[in-house]
Chain A
Amino acid sequence: MEELKKKILDFMTKKGKFKSKMYFKDLCKADPDAKSREIKKAATELVKEEKIEYWSSGSTTLYGLKGAGKSEAEQFGGEE
């Protein structure tokens, strides 16, 4: 699990230079040999550890490194 979590984080950091939010299917590319359920469990652990976070439009969910990309306040002008 720890190994997979590291692979996901490395992948997201590398890809994060171009895209701050990724689909779950993109995360699966971090380790093509791992089953998607294992990736999901590792991603859930990373969310719990507050290293990555969900971004949801309501109908679709994406994953991003914690704090990557525009902040909530910048993106929506809400008072955070």
Chain B
Amino acid sequence: MADLKKHDTPMIDELKKGPWPSFADDINTRAESGVQCCYDLLGQMELSYVHKETHWKHGGIVGVFGYGGGVIGRYSDAPHEFPSIAHFHTLRINQPASKFYNTKFLRKLCDMWDHRGSGIFNFHGSTGDMVMIGTTTDQLEPIFFDLTHQFDMDLGGSGSNLRTPSCCVGKARCEYSCLDTQAITYDLTMTYQDELHRPAFPYKFKFKTSGCPNDCVAAIARACTSIIGTWRDNIRIDQKAVQAYIGGEIKPNAGAFSDRDWGPFDIQKEVIDLCPSKCMYMDGNELKIDDRECVRCMHCINVMPSALRPGVDTGATILNGAKAPILEGAQMSTLIIPFMKMEYPYQEFKDYVELMWDWWMEEGKNRERLGELIQRQGLRHYIVDILGRKPIPQHVKEPRSNPYHFWKEEEVPGGWKRDLAEFRKKHLA
């Protein structure tokens, strides 16, 4: 029998109107099936709308034995009014790489969560984890036991540690992928178990792996270390297929925009003129690419996937330092290593990671992300002194306008000392 609705929720009820699916509907359906905490959840949310402030208190000494992350404590600040959500902790679960499930697994998981928690999930949280929303402190250990013994799953990362590594679908289903993103994610997860579960970092740290520069997990915008698949040889061209696109036999963008008549495909306008480095041209009936100038933007390949394919000598571009903090605004990753072969056991990459972590753990302030540390101490210091690498043209932030690699005097032939009068003879002001 369903429990009675205890709280009036006129503002929440407004959210159920309109054509869009609403979380309020979902939670209400669950409440009507007899889950009292869902009524209290809606009641507390209504109160927050009235008061224009949250009624959640965040954080605490919750967790499973030996782990410092994975459980995020949440408590109601009005427990007497909403007793069934007095504790309403969230669990992050390490998702399978590329988020592959089968329905049998999901049904079993739902049964477990109905039994031990609110039954409310978030597939998937912004880090990528499967998020179980709402349980009580006494259920944490039993849930952890069930997850590890029945589901072969582990808690994900939360707190000042390595967050659950995530990746795009990779070679499993994507023809563009230059990397086995799942193998990399699995290997990083297993190698850095200790960093995932026992916090020792100044703040959070994220790895994300995308199979190609389309970057479907948005690694460049979110990850402290982005591993983005790329190639260092030439784009493969099928000239017959190029002609088939021009002749209209194959739809551009794999037919993605074929619901409207955009007119005949114009390779000049839709591909060649949009190349950011202008490295493509038609030589009679042949499409030519000056691959040395290609910046791997993927536009031409996305438009003509049957005619153009990434090269075969594949690896990864490594970038560092993305973050989206509230105070300073978002920062995208900076390119550090243009190309690295990513082959099992990924030793070159791991050596690099450990150099980076040692520096960040030593120098990073509390709650300072790697990207902020690089910004504070300088990219030159990071690349040259910490990683021991030579600066290269790709480290220029905005080519030909704003170089932010600053040379040391000993790196420049002749140093800084020069005769200004002599210089001006050749370079008139």
> Interface of A with B (CB < 8 Å)?
23-25, 36-37, 39-40, 43-44, 47-48, 53-61, 64, 72, 75-80
Closest beta carbon of chain A to B37's beta carbon, Å: 14
> Interface of B with A (CB < 8 Å)?
57-63, 65-66, 68-69, 71-73, 75-77, 79, 86-87, 90, 137, 158-161, 194, 198-204, 358, 361-362, 364-367
Cross-chain contact A78 with B199 (CB below 8 angstroms): no
Closest beta carbon of chain B to A61's beta carbon, Å: 4
Cross-chain contact B362 with A36 (CB below 8 angstroms): yes
Q: Which residues of A contact B199 (CB under 8 A)?
A: 24, 54, 56, 61
Closest beta carbon of chain A to B39's beta carbon, Å: 18
> Given known contacts A44-B198, A78-B137, is B75 in contact with A56 (CB within 8 Å)?
no
Cross-chain contact A54 with B75 (CB below 8 angstroms): no
Q: Which label, helix, strand, loop or mixed, suits the secondary structure of the B interface?
A: loop
Which residue of A47, A58, A75 contacts B158 across the interface (Cβ within 8 Å)?
A58
Q: Once bound together, how far apart are the Cα atoms of A5 and B199, in whole Å? A: 17
Cross-chain contact B361 with A76 (CB below 8 angstroms): no
Q: Which residues of B contact A76 (CB under 8 A)?
A: 57, 60, 73, 75, 87
Q: Which residues of B contact A23 (CB under 8 A)?
A: 160, 202, 366
Q: Which residues of A contact B161 (CB under 8 A)?
A: 61
Closest beta carbon of chain B to A59's beta carbon, Å: 6
Cross-chain contact A53 with B61 (CB below 8 angstroms): yes
Q: Which residues of A contact B57 (CB under 8 A)?
A: 75-76
By beta carbon, the residue of chain B nearest A48 is: B66
Closest beta carbon of chain B to A73's beta carbon, Å: 10
- Residue with the greatest number of chain B CB neighbours at <10 A, chosen from A36, A37, A76: A76
Closest beta carbon of chain A to B147's beta carbon, Å: 18
Which residue of B63, B65, B86 contacts A56 across the interface (Cβ within 8 Å)?
B63
Cross-chain contact A40 with B200 (CB below 8 angstroms): yes
> Given known contacts A47-B68, A78-B86, is B200 in contact with A56 (CB within 8 Å)?
no
Q: Once bound together, how far apart are the Cα atoms of A64 and B199, in whole Å? A: 13
Q: Once bound together, how far apart are the Cα atoms of A36 and B201, in whole Å? A: 10
Given A44-B198, A58-B158, A58-B159, 18 extra CB contacts under 8 A: A23-B160, A37-B200, A47-B68, A54-B159, A56-B59, A56-B62, A56-B68, A56-B199, A57-B159, A58-B73, A58-B90, A59-B204, A61-B68, A75-B57, A76-B73, A78-B137, A79-B79, A79-B86
Cross-chain contact B202 with A72 (CB below 8 angstroms): no
> Given known contacts A54-B63, A54-B68, A72-B60, is B361 in contact with A61 (CB within 8 Å)?
no
Q: Once bound together, how far apart are the Cα atoms of A80 and B140, in whole Å? A: 13
Q: Once bound together, how far apart are the Cα atoms of A59 and B358, in whole Å? A: 20
Q: Once bound together, how far apart are the Cα atoms of A43 and B161, in whole Å? A: 14
Cross-chain contact B137 with A56 (CB below 8 angstroms): no
Q: Once bound together, how far apart are the Cα atoms of A44 and B193, in whole Å? A: 13
Q: Which residues of B contact A55 (CB under 8 A)?
A: 59-61
Which residue of B194, B362, B367 contacts A60 across the interface (Cβ within 8 Å)?
B367
Q: Which residues of A contact B69 (CB under 8 A)?
A: 56, 61
Q: Once bound together, how far apart are the Cα atoms of A79 and B367, in whole Å? A: 31
By beta carbon, the residue of chain B nearest A53 is: B61
Q: Once bound together, how far apart are the Cα atoms of A47 and B194, in whole Å? A: 14
Q: Which residues of B contact A36 (CB under 8 A)?
A: 200, 358, 361-362
Q: Which residues of B contact A48 (CB under 8 A)?
A: 65-66
Closest beta carbon of chain B to A29's beta carbon, Å: 12
Cross-chain contact A60 with B137 (CB below 8 angstroms): no
Q: Once bound together, how far apart are the Cα atoms of A64 and B60, in whole Å? A: 11
Cross-chain contact B59 with A24 (CB below 8 angstroms): no
Q: Which residues of B contact A44 (CB under 8 A)?
A: 66, 194, 198
Q: Which residues of B contact A79 (CB under 8 A)?
A: 79, 86-87
Cross-chain contact A59 with B203 (CB below 8 angstroms): yes
By beta carbon, the residue of chain A nearest B138 is: A80
Q: Once bound together, how far apart are the Cα atoms of A3 and B367, in whole Å? A: 29
Q: Once bound together, how far apart are the Cα atoms of A59 and B59, in whole Å? A: 9
Closest beta carbon of chain B to A57's beta carbon, Å: 4
Q: Once bound together, how far apart are the Cα atoms of A47 and B198, in whole Å? A: 10
